[in-house]
Structure 1
Amino acid sequence: MADPKRQAEEKLENMSPDKKQEILESFDEFQNYLNDKIQKGEKLGLSEEHLAKGAERVAEYLKNHEEPKNSEEKLLQEMWKVSDDDEKHKMAHTLVKLAKKEGN
């Protein structure tokens, strides 16, 4: 069985630089990207727990591979860096809720 963390990283690594730039350029675009992925996950029957784990993988990738493009992303990155695993998991749930709210 494929490693979901590795699959998420590969998908993000294979994204075109222009698409990454577009998503990361504004926090609204980032939220729209998350909302789109959340909606697709919900259509596949993923629980909020699975969606939060996906958000954790995206956040971890961004922390390790991308520079924040705006103050909101910088704040999230700094919070992510100092958080323990439990706090990161709670933040991921909050990001899912925020992206779902913004998508409505």
Structure 2
Amino acid sequence: MSSDQKQDILNSFDEFQNYLSDKINKGEKLGLSENQLAKGAERVAEYLKNHEDPKNTEEKLLQELWKVSDDDEKHHLAHVLVKLARKEG
């Protein structure tokens, strides 16, 4: 993914949700389970926490929640992100 594409996705929480929704839809078409989708969401969240500065208040909230969560809480939060992205898709 180009730097410009990444910035377009991260500049707007709606664009981030749309991106995540698209990836979830593709994963479902490949037959990924709910748990596998959540694991993917965990990897995305961990990457964002370590490599990207939040661009809006929603991303800042998610980053702060991710930072203070233990592994079990992160797993549950990833499932919630999958649900949220499905709702938007």
Q: TM-score range by the shorter chain?
A: over 0.9
Q: Does 1:37 align with 2:23?
A: yes
Q: Does 1:96 align with 2:82?
A: yes
How many residues are matched?
A: 89
CA RMSD of aligned residues (A): 0.4
| Cα shift readout 1:36-90 (whole Å, capped 9, x = no counterpart) | 0000000000001000000000000000000000000000000000000000000
Structure 2 unmatched ranges of 5 or more: none
* DSSP 3-state at the match of 2:31: coil
Q: Does 1:81 align with 2:67?
A: yes
Q: Distance in 1 between matches of 2:6 and 2:65?
A: 21
Q: Distance in 1 between matches of 2:25 and 2:69?
A: 27
Q: Distance in 2 between matches of 1:24 and 1:50?
A: 23
Amino acid at match of 2:50: N
Higher relative contact order (CA 8 A, sep 6+): 2
TM-score between both structures, scaled by the size of structure 1: 0.85
